[in-house]
Amino acid sequence: MKVYSRHERRLKAPPETVGNLIDSLAGPDDRLWPKAKWPPMQFDRGLCPGAKGGHGPIRYHVIHHTPGERVVFQFDDSGLLKGFDGRHLYEMVRRKGHVVLRHIVDAECAFNLWLRWQLLVRPLHDALLEDSLHQAEKRLTHTTAKSPRWSLWVRLLRWIMARKGEKSNA
């Protein structure tokens, strides 16, 4: 089964500034990943090809990084998405008069994993990515727009995950 997800923001900002956001991912001064609300993106050695890591139970490794433009991650055959065959990426695309900051997931998987993606992972993923892009937009354009509102389903899933975390820490 095919899994494809695309989130993007059109930004009136210099390409170098948007590229710097991408390059800050998983670093000590990460300005793109919404780590205040979500598990942080972490790697064993920064954004260089072969670096292993992920965020929360989602595991992947860096397969390509063009500084200032793009970073591509390959899903590992472990963690919550064990069985996913694909990748995800952040990229900056130059357009006339603006820049597009984009995140894409492109993968294939068996039906049972596709169902898990649709019901559990995708709603959380979509909320996380909207938070990430909102954070980027707010940092680059200095707007005071409200943060995206999570759906009731996302709030319920996060509550369940928090409860499970409390029980496993007891």
What mean pLDDT is predicted for residues 81-110?
Answer: 96
What mean pLDDT, rounded, does the chain reach? 93
pLDDT for position 70? 98
Return d(Cα 170, Cα 27) in angstroms, integer: 31
Q: Which domain holds residue 142?
A: 2-169
Please choose, from the candidates 18, 121, 122, 12, the residue with its C-alpha nearest in 3D space to the C-alpha of residue 71. Answer: 18
| Structure confidence by residue, pLDDT tens digits, 115-146 | 999 999 999 999 999 999 999 999 998 877 78
pLDDT for position 143? 78
Contacts of 127 (CB under 8 A, 6+ apart): 148, 150, 151, 154
CATH number assigned to the domain comprising residue 143: 3.30.530.20
Per-residue confidence band for 168, with pLDDT thresholds at 50, 70 and 90: very low
Q: Hey, what are 28's tokens?
A: 């000590």
Please choose, from the candidates 142, 120, 170, the residue with its C-alpha nearest in 3D space to the C-alpha of residue 13. Answer: 142
pLDDT for position 146? 81
CA atoms 167, 121, 6, 89: torsion sign: positive
What mean pLDDT is predicted for residues 41-70?
Answer: 96
> Does 167 score more than 70 pLDDT?
no
**Picking from 67-71, 93-97, 155-159, 166-170, which range would have the lowest pLDDT averaged per residue?**
166-170
pLDDT for position 147? 85
pLDDT for position 170? 41
**Can you tell me which residue has the tokens 């948007």?**
18
For the entire predicted model, the pTM comes to: 0.93
Name the helix (H) or strand (E) containing 43.
Answer: strand 41-43
Count of domains observed in the chain: 1
